[in-house]
Copies of this chain bind each other. A is one copy, B any other.
């Protein structure tokens, strides 16, 4: 029988993992430099952005993860190491070396990430200075690290769940430039379960496919997306099916946390597509609806403009759809039956749209595939945030 998955509040790092965060002068205030550390060798897997102009940490990280083993992660926020050519690669390596020295591990066992403005040089001396002596700051609270990796995020994001004797903890950031394609901007997953790198490398993309890869805040795919999973084995062996179920549930819950904290967002938007012709089409239609600016502004304004669902499904030109089979509901209120308006009351629908989350369910009636996408509403806050991000 499947072991139960128990989400725990507050989040805590699994045994053997610790973290620290400092301000090294990249941000005016607050932590901008973060490390995670495992007391023992951890099996590791990672997925990275599909953006064709990846940051230097992604280029180096893809090579480094091949060994399937890590001891530490080092992350700076405020400036991403992207568009910096050979200098960027050198600085990514220097950042890992400095973390390795400070934590007493090998260079090869450190993966690095940088997140923030694209195209500016990485202030590597500040980072190197900031890492000196950071081992003394290591502690157990994952929110310390969650705060250190934030850019435009409003709240630090970490969660923990237990499955059997093992704990899974995810620390992540999101907010903007989020339509990940392999992983969300930055998500670090730690477990004390004993699993080898091959198992992790199979499980991680599968969990990410239903969670972070179904998340879109603004359709823009970051150059720095990275999702790392480290398993240090201190809690011993675990039934791998139970572990996968917990990993899957935890990544979906984190995707929802990231969506709800999207830039300017006031609510979580979930789109469930049922009975599509294929899983690929279900995912594409769910993503198209969750990304539609007109659906997002409808959710923000609680405007009962249900007809936009027809528009959004219909613009998936290459998917199998049939107007006369389309059924749709919003937070349980049927709004479209057989492709035409269902018998609902505008005021009721407005009340439901005013809530959080807004769940849009679409039944295509043409097959049996399902998908859920995660997003948020589109508000003036997104504009304000992004009209001056470089300069602020």
Q: Most chain-B Cβ atoms within 10 A of its Cβ — which of A220, A292, A341, A350? A: A220
Q: Which of A50, A52, A179, A379 has the most CB of B within 10 A?
A: A52
Stretch of A23-31, A156-164, A305-313 contacting B (4+ beta carbons < 8 Å): A305-313
With contacts A219-B291, A298-B386 taken as known, whether A310 is within 8 angstroms of B378 at the C-beta atoms is no
A277 CB to nearest B CB, Å: 13
Chain A, interface residues (CB within 8 Å), range: 35 or more
Are A293 and B52 within 8 A (Cβ)?
no
Docked CA distance A386–B176 (Å): 21
A328 to B306, CA, bound (A): 41
Given A52-B314, A222-B311, are A379 and B389 also a contact pair (CB < 8 Å)?
no
Among residues 333 to 392 in chain A, which have CB atoms less than 8 Å away from a CB atom of chain B?
A: 336, 338-341, 350, 378-380, 382-391
With known contacts A52-B321, A119-B341, A340-B84, A386–B314 Cβ distance under 8 A? no
Q: Beyond A84-B340, A386-B301, is A51–B294 a contact (Cβ under 8 Å)?
A: no
Q: Which residue of B lies closest to A181 (CB)?
A: B317
Contact indicator A52/B313 (Cβ below 8 Å): yes
A117 close to B (CB within 8 Å): yes
Bound form: Cα–Cα A382–B297 in Å: 9
Identical chains in the assembly: 2
Q: How far is the CB of A310 from chain B (nearest CB, A)?
A: 5
| A390 surroundings in chain B (CB, below 8 A) | 298, 303-305, 307
CB pair B83 A340 closer than 8 Å: yes
**Interface 0/1 of A278-322, CB less than 8 Å to B:** 000000000000011110011011011111101111111101010
Cα separation A317 to B350 with both chains bound (whole Å)? 38
Which one, B83, B120, B304, B314, contacts A54 given CB within 8 A?
A: B314
Cα A223 to Cα B310 in complex, Å, equals 8
Is A4 in the interface zone, CB < 8 Å from B? no
A73 to B316, CA, bound (A): 29
Q: Does A252 contact B (CB under 8 A)?
A: no
Contact A311 B220 (CB under 8 A): yes
The answer, yes or no, to whether A332 is at the interface (CB within 8 Å) is no
B293 with A220: CB separation less than 8 A: yes
Cβ–Cβ < 8 Å partners of A383 in chain B: 297, 300, 378-380, 382-383
Cross-chain pairs A/B with CB under 8 angstroms, 15 sampled = A52-B313, A52-B315, A52-B319, A53-B323, A53-B326, A53-B339, A83-B310, A118-B305, A119-B310, A297-B389, A300-B387, A305-B390, A379-B383, A380-B383, A383-B383
CB-CB nearest 5 A-B residue pairs: A301-B387, A118-B307, A119-B307, A53-B314, A305-B390
